[in-house]
Structure 1
Amino acid sequence: MLTLYVFLIILFSTSATNKSTGIHMHPLSDEFILHINLKQNLWRAGRNFHRDVPLTYFKRLMGSLRNYPSEYLSQKNYDMDWERVPKEFDARLRWRGCPTLYDIRDQGSCGSCWAVAAVSAMTDRICIISNGTRNFYFSAEDVLSCCRNCGSGCNGGVLVRAWSYSRRKGVVSGGGFGSHQGCLPYEIEPCEHTNPGPRPECGSTQKTPICNKVCEPNYKVTYKRDKIRFQQIYTLNKTRAIKKEIFKNGPVTASFSVYSDFLNYKEGVYYHVAGKYIGGHSVKILGWGVEKGVKYWLVANSWNTDWGNNGFFKIKRGKNTCGIEEQIVFGD
């Protein structure tokens, strides 16, 4: 068995030599996964999705559209703040009274990452500000369906505009698919990534839900009265300032460029190794640390818990890896 394994490594290594970028390999193939692992040892690739999931599904997931220069927000000023932050930090451990910090949402077959990431961070920050006494689960459905100028719903939106919507209009409550929690729960069903199960197969096309300004039948508060607004929206792009904001007030959101190797991330500190660009993606950053001497951000994805490290991943910090530090967005 060991001899066979060594033979396979030599075989695929030779193949990888001829295709050093991995561009011509299928992004979900065993060959591509092995190629990633042979090229580096900082992170491990493995199977997150069934080999037959269509590539159009992944392009649909990448719904983070670029911000326009006119929408760039004011930087929150940390220039004169000399307070030290720890070498490693995990918001889940500091604010144990806020269980949503452990949540991994599932955007389904919809390019709603820009809305899901924003409301996930909003939910955490409201809890943190209230010292764990206020657990208001912000609705991704409300932002996805009712923010008219955010973009095109499941066909993509702008992260900054999702936050701006929370300031202008406010966002109602709403749990995950089938939860019947809050005013507007998420309508789009999660899908099965790797194994057959009760969820539909990944790849099925989902339309943007219609904006419904009426709460669930059993919810006792009206849509209008359920809205919660953020007073101010900020941005940051300096590593030290980003760390201080997370340390003081909780998770922030970011958009970055996704390449096909990211689809196969399982653990370790991610950086782009091989494969083609797929699109823009929005996520929530909730901490940082150092692994194997490499600095990283701790990030929550929105592809359910059977992707990556129980839905979370680490990505190189301080080098603007895949553009993740270009514009951090959050609100107070």
Structure 2
Amino acid sequence: MSEVIEMILILIIVTLCFLMIPFNLQPNAVIEARRKFEIFIRLYDKPYRYNVPDLKQVMVSGQIAQERGSPLDKFVIESKSAEMKDAIIFSRAKRSLFIPDYLPKVVDWREKNVVPTVKSQGNCGACWAISVVDTISSLSAIKQKQSNVTDLCIEKVINCAGNGNFGCDGGDTCRLLEWLQDERIELSTLSDCLSIQSHKNGSDCEFQKAGNREFISVERFSCVSLVDREHLMLRYLATRGPIVAAVNAISWQYYLGGVVQYHCESRYDDLNHAVEIVGYNLENSIPYYWVKNSWGTAFGDHGYIKIEIGKNLCGIANRVSFIELV
């Protein structure tokens, strides 16, 4: 009998211990996200810089978000062009795009051979420069009606751009465009860049200034929020050419294909990457943008990712740049 009582007492003590100890059977979200991110880093051999020890704050590919509280209006240039007027009806309540018949249902500037090849930034956080310079290359080819695009010297811009940009340690698309415009920088072709480096054994930071002749230089640009106004992005893509956008690319590490429709945060403060948007498709059951990344052709769809239109997914409409060349 004493043995039974002793066994009961032991069971009671063990039960009380379990009731007193708080268990957390759910995996820690931050630890789990960090584990998956480390797997991605090893898989693609892509080490990144961290701003603070929180995965959400990772500088994914070098786009330094604008300082909290600083005015975005510094970079806003209101377009007086009829091309930019709100001629497309947009329903904010339903978040639906109603596209008129005269807007093409499919636009893909790659079909015109005016989009440079996908770049691989490797260990260099230079998406801010790659996206802008490649977009300028595209717009130059379109303006000059070239049958093939001419690559421009991205490395020189990475190494030399001022105005608060830090080379492979990060930069900002809007600050880069402001620097290119204010300094009247004439961008070199890739062949010229390689020729200079072969003779001088290093990066040359002396840029030619825009003169009274043909050159590739930024005349003006916009850097605006088009949240709930993505129709303006479609309009520009259809009538002018590719555009630059800042995005939140944290979740892109898991992208294998298809159209991104969910699980891609859109907060302005979470922008951490920069890309070139080269077209769209409104005929698909889920309309999407064609977004050119800079993680090499092994990423996604041969270096591209499809983002659903109309939801500001991944913050794609938070900070958009339209560029006009001289």
Task: Classify the TM-score, shorter chain.
Answer: 0.5 to 0.7
Q: Note if contact 1:137-1:182 (Cα within 8 Å) is conserved in structure 2.
A: no
Q: Partners in 1 of 2:78 and 2:202 — Cα distance? A: 34
Using the size of structure 1 for normalisation, the TM-score is 0.66
TM-score computed with the length of structure 2 as normaliser: 0.68
- Secondary structure at the residue paired with 1:298? strand
Letter of the structure 2 residue corresponding to residue 247 of structure 1: A
Distance 1:118 1:29, change over 3 A: closer
Contact in 1 for aligned 2:65/2:271 (Cα 8 Å) = no
- Structure 2 CA distance for partners of 1:52 and 1:151, relative to 1, 3 Å: closer
Residue matched to 2:77: 74
Q: Residues 157, 110 of structure 1: CA spacing in aligned structure 2 closer, same or farther, 3 A cutoff? A: same
**As a proportion of its length, which structure holds more helix?**
2
Equivalences for 1:76-225 in 2 at 5 Å? 76-77=79-80, 78-79=84-85, 81=87, 84-93=102-111, 95-96=112-113, 98=114, 101=115, 103-132=117-146, 135-169=149-183, 170-175=185-190, 181-183=191-193, 212-213=204-205, 223=208
Structure 1 position 155, deviation (Å): 1.3
Which of 1 and 2 has greater Rg?
Answer: 2
Distance 1:291 1:28, change over 3 A: farther
Q: Is the 8 Å Cα contact of residues 57 and 109 (structure 1) preserved in structure 2?
A: no
Q: Which moved more, 1:116-125 or 1:53-62?
A: 53-62
280, 295, 311: which one aligns with 2:287:
295
- For residue 219 of structure 2, the aligned residue among 231, 240, 246 is 231
Tell me which moved more, 243-252 or 224-233. 224-233
**Separation of aligned partners in 2, 1:81 and 1:279:** 29
**TM-fit CA distance, 1:249:** 1.3
How far residue 151 of structure 1 moved from its aligned partner, in angstroms, is 1.8
Match of 1:44 in 2: none
Percent identity for Structure 1 against Structure 2: 22
The corresponding residue for 2:244 is 253
Residue 56 of structure 1: how far off its partner (Å): 3.6
The alignment partner of 1:182 has SS state of: helix
In structure 2, the residue matched to 1:24 is 32
The reply on whether 1:267 has 2:257 as its aligned counterpart is yes
Alpha-carbon distance in 2 for matches of 1:142, 1:24? 39
Residues 187 and 217 of structure 2 are in contact (CA less than 8 Å); yes or no, is this contact kept in structure 1?
Answer: no
Report how far residue 279 of structure 1 moved: 6.2
| Residues 48 and 61, structure 2, Cα contact 8 Å, conserved in 1 | no
Cα displacement (A) at 1:117: 0.3
Tell me, what secondary structure is at the counterpart of 1:162?
helix
Query: How far 1:123 sits from its partner (Å)?
Result: 0.1
How far did 1:166 drift? 2.3
Structure 2 partner of 1:65:
64
* CA contact 1:183–1:223 (8 Å) conserved in 2: no
User: What's the CA shift for 1:120?
Assistant: 0.4
1:217-275 Cα distance to aligned partner (Å, 9 max, x none): xxxxx85589632111124512111111111111000001122x311212111245389
Distance in structure 2 (CA, Å) of the matches to 1:52 and 1:64: 19
Task: Return the offset for 1:295.
Answer: 2.3
Count of aligned pairs = 260
Structure 1 contact 257–322 (Cα < 8 Å) conserved: yes
Query: Which of residues 290, 307, 311 in structure 2 aligns to 1:315?
Result: 307
Tell me, what secondary structure is at the counterpart of 2:322? strand
How much does 1:61 deviate? Answer: 4.6
Deviation at 1:149, TM superposition (A): 1.0
Q: Tell me if 1:284 matches 2:290.
A: no
In structure 1, stretches of 5+ residues that fail to align are: 1-16, 31-47, 176-180, 188-208, 215-221
Given that residues 106 and 302 in structure 1 are in contact (C-alpha distance below 8 angstroms), is that contact kept between their aligned partners in structure 2? yes
Cα deviation 1:111-165 (Å, max 9, x = unaligned)? 1100000000000000001111684422212321211214221111111122222
Contact 1:172-1:184 at 8 Å conserved across structures? no
